[in-house]
Copies of this chain bind each other. A is one copy, B any other.
Amino acid sequence: MRISELARTAGLSLPTVKYYLRLGLLPAGRAVSATESRYGDQHLRRLRLIRALRDVVGLPIDRVAAVLSAIDEPSDTAYDTLGRAVGALSTSSPGQPGDEGPAAGEFPLARTAIDALGWTYDPEYPAVGQLQAALAAAADVGVPMEPDRLATMGEHVLAMAEFDLSRMPPEPDAAIEYAVLGTALHEPVLLALRRLAHQHLAARS
């Protein structure tokens, strides 16, 4: 498959595919001469992944690149790889001018919430910062997360997470990719379902 066919099949313009190649999001094809390379199914899948992360999950290109490189080059430990990859998904950390915050203990709302749920509090994890920001914003604007609402949400989220974990493939490499893609691509599903559930309940009342 030549590059123009790849682009056409993926529904992208040829310059766009070249752009992704240039950025390293898409690995180069198998060079067949100085002016021709061949691309395969893996490239097509890669393009679909890129577009899904961009269009459906809403990640900016550089975040997509970080996710892909985390998947491609596993770290020493699986835990570390996963942290790196999921960290790259963080949607809300442009960060203050300073640095990415090793300013631990700066997440009082998140800490309180996590303690109330009896979960593990680790300020290094980006989701803690996200939780803090989300809780603060909700409270600021007049729709705070009351303890019982938080408890309800926590209970159901934990149940869903247990399901996810039970489905994780046993092989470490596959598990990483599964975890990252599942984290990212099931989020829009979850949000859409929540809105539909609201709609469903509102309509029948």
Contact = CB atoms under 8 A, between A and B. Distances in A.
Contact of A138 (B145, B179, B185, B201): B185
A191 to B, nearest CB: 6
B92 A131 contact: no
B152 A159 contact: yes
B52 A204 contact: no
Contacts of A52: 137-138, 140-141
A122 interface: yes
Interface in A184-205: 185-205
A22 interface: no
Interface string A149-186: 10011101111111111010000000000110111011
A90 to B, nearest CB: 9
A163 B188 contact: no
A54 to B, nearest CB: 10
A157 to B, nearest CB: 5
A163 B152 contact: yes
A201 B162 contact: yes
Nearest to A154: B193
A119 interface: yes
Given A198-B161, A202-B82, A186 B138 contact: yes
A6 interface: no
